[in-house]
Amino acid sequence: MTRNAAPATAAPTVIVVDDDADLREALAGLFRSVDLAAATYASAADFLAARRTDGPGCLVVDVRMPGLSGLDFQAQLADHGIHLPIILMTGHGDIPMSVRAMKAGAVDFLAKPFRDQDMLDAVSAALARDVERRTRDTGLQALRTAYETLTGREREVMAQVTAGLMNKQIAGNLNLSEITIKIHRGNVMKKMAARSLADLVRMAEALGINQT
Partner DNA sequence: ACCGCCCTTAAACCTCCGTATGGTTTCGGG
Partner DNA sequence: CCCGAAACCATACGGAGGTTTAAGGGCGGT
**Binder among 8, 99, 142, 179 for a copy of itself (CB under 8 A):** 99
Stretch that binds a copy of itself, among 20-28, 42-50, 97-105, 146-154 (CB under 8 A): 97-105
Return the ∠ at Cα 34 (arms to 69 and 39), rounded to 5°.
Answer: 35
Indicate which of DNA, a copy of itself, none lies near residue 11 (CB less than 5 to 8 Å, by partner kind): none
CB of 112 to a copy of itself, least distance (A): 10
Would you count residue 201 as binding DNA (CB under 7 A)? Answer: no
Would you count residue 184 as binding DNA (CB under 7 A)? Answer: yes
Query: Nearer to DNA by C-beta: 24 or 185?
Result: 185
1 DSSP assignment: -
Could you give the strand order of the β-sheet that contains 57-62, starting from the edge strand earlier in sequence? 37-41, 13-17, 57-62, 86-90, 108-111
Return the ∠ at Cα 51 (arms to 120 and 18), rounded to 5°.
Answer: 45
Query: Nearer to DNA by C-beta: 116 or 178?
Result: 178
Would you count residue 157 as binding a copy of itself (CB under 8 A)? Answer: no
The CA distance from 128 to 126, in Å, is 5
Residues 111-130 that bind DNA (CB under 7 A): none
CB of 116 to a copy of itself, least distance (A): 15
Beta bridge partners of 37: 13
- Say what angle helices 116-148 and 21-33 make with each other, to 10 degrees: 80
Integer-rounded Cα Rg, in Å, for the chain is 23
Binding site for a copy of itself (CB under 8 A): 90, 93-96, 98-99, 102-103, 108-111, 161-165, 195-199, 201-202, 205
